[in-house]
Amino acid sequence: MIRHALAVAALTALAGPALAQPAAHDAYLRSTPETVLRGSISATRAPVLRITSGQTVRIDTVSHGGLTDDPVAYFAQAGIAADEVLQDVKDIAAASTGEGWRGHVLTGPIYVEGAEPGDMLEIRVVDLEHRVPYGVNSPGTGGVVPGLLTEQVQKILKFDLERKVALFSPDIEVPLGPFLGIMAVAPDPAIGTVGSRAPGIFGGNMDLKRLVVGSTLYLPVFNPGALFYTGDAHAAQGDGEVSGNAIEASLTGTLQFIVHKGKGASMPAPFAEDAENFYVMGLDEDLDNAMRKSVENTVAFLQEHAGIPKADAYSISSIAVDFAVAEAVDGVEIIYGTVPKKLFLKTTPYWTE
């Protein structure tokens, strides 16, 4: 896999201070009513930005948390002043007043020149910046345990960005671990448009908490230009997102895009990596089947990556790979296997060219 030195310094920048300098980038895509799409991922929407393979883009995202008809009044409940509410949020809310909740707010699509169906798109998470020092968690009647709560609870959480924690209560602080809950390419053009709730082979609402700064996601390409979308940013989340949402927050992500010709046609699912691990996913509407698919994909990955027989790959999957639930609440469930890179005596340097 191609590596790059652009973001080495970002590997330790989990959630820097509010005034941290933005990472180097080739283009900046803001979130406005014209550059966002709500509730869906579309292969027919016109690109809002065009780039070439290898370029890096700084992308604003807007959270759906608190994006009501009147977000200023919503956040005022927590003592957040009107001028502390993002102008993007006000503008997007004004553009859809009276329509109610319309799903995730996704920035895009970005057209990557040279990407064609059958290719693989590599997305490197170079940097993530908190746009505001607060977020929203709103557990309700759904999630993994429907009916556990009888109504939806709105909780606005303030952040201490210097200490990298969310102030949950006077006695509880949650470590921040920002990541983009949705990173996606447009689906097969025969499908055209899918809802943003359920993830799929195209990526989407994977809610994989491992996709922090310094990580890499790989997606198969189905359309010319790939047509990349991102949003549903989270300040922190546990594996599974069991109540149905995380700390929903607005982030600016700096992402690098690299096209690998012909490498996506045989991909059974998205996969990811960072400096320490590979993350091999399995997706299915049934959690047991998602587990089975993750193991099958991990075995196949180990066979190819390490050049070992299937039986050995199955053994390694059992004795050295941890399987966890990334996504358990959005129609399609995700199990991922964590394959430690330290297993392999022969390693490929990460992000070095």
pLDDT, tens digit (0-9, with 9 covering 90-100), for 197-225 = 999 999 999 999 999 999 999 999 999 99
pLDDT-derived band of residue 13, with 50, 70 and 90 as boundaries? Answer: very low
Q: What is the pLDDT of residue 101?
A: 57
Task: Flag whether pLDDT at 15 surpasses 50.
Answer: no
Phi, psi for 71 (deg, rounded to 5): -65, -30
pLDDT-derived band of residue 112, with 50, 70 and 90 as boundaries? Answer: very high
Query: What domains does the chain contain, in order, with CATH numbers?
Result: 8-260 (2.60.120.580), 271-343 (3.10.28.20)
Cβ–Cβ < 8 Å for 216, 274: yes
Please name every residue paired with 160 in a beta bridge, in sequence order, or none if there are none.
165
Check residue 301 and give left, alpha or beta (phi > 0: left; psi -120 to 50: alpha): alpha
Q: What is the pLDDT of residue 102?
A: 75
pLDDT-derived band of residue 80, with 50, 70 and 90 as boundaries? Answer: very high
Measure the CA dihedral 227/56/120/43, to 10°. 0
Q: Average pLDDT, stretch 9-34? A: 70
Give the max Cα distance, the chain: 61
Cβ–Cβ < 8 Å for 270, 203: yes
pLDDT tens digit sequence for 266-323: 999 999 999 999 999 999 999 999 999 999 999 999 999 999 999 999 999 999 999 9
Task: Flag whether pLDDT at 130 surpasses 90.
Answer: yes
Name every residue whose Cβ is closer than 8 Å to that of residue 276 and which is 6 or more positions away in sequence. 340, 341, 342
Phi, psi for 196 (deg, rounded to 5): -85, -5
> For the chain, what percent of residues have pLDDT higher than 70?
93
Q: pTM for this structure?
A: 0.93
pLDDT tens digit sequence for 310-349: 999 999 999 999 999 999 999 999 999 999 999 999 888 9
Q: What is the pLDDT of residue 123?
A: 98
d(CA 48, CA 172): 41
Mean pLDDT of the chain: 93
pLDDT tens digit sequence for 44-79: 999 999 999 999 999 999 999 999 999 999 999 999
Task: Flag whether pLDDT at 5 surpasses 90.
Answer: no
pLDDT-derived band of residue 96, with 50, 70 and 90 as boundaries? Answer: confident
pLDDT-derived band of residue 37, with 50, 70 and 90 as boundaries? Answer: very high
Task: Flag whether pLDDT at 88 surpasses 80.
Answer: yes
Helices (H), 14-145: 71-76, 87-95
d(CA 193, CA 91): 25
pLDDT-derived band of residue 21, with 50, 70 and 90 as boundaries? Answer: confident
For the record, the structure tokens of 7 come out as 């973001």
Task: Flag whether pLDDT at 9 surpasses 50.
Answer: no
pLDDT tens digit sequence for 169-203: 999 999 999 999 999 999 999 999 999 999 999 99
Q: Which amino acid is residue 320, in one-letter code?
A: A
Task: Flag whether pLDDT at 1 surpasses 50.
Answer: no
> For residue 11, what is the DSSP state?
G
The DSSP code sequence of 152-214 is ---EEEEEETTTTEEEEETTEEEEP--EEEEEEE---TTT-EEESSS-BTTEEE---TT-STT
Cis amide linkage into residue 189, ω under 30° from 0: no
Q: What is the pLDDT of residue 12?
A: 36
Q: What is the pLDDT of residue 65?
A: 94
Q: Output 128 or 15, whichever has higher pLDDT.
A: 128
d(CA 111, CA 129): 23
Q: What is the pLDDT of residue 159?
A: 98
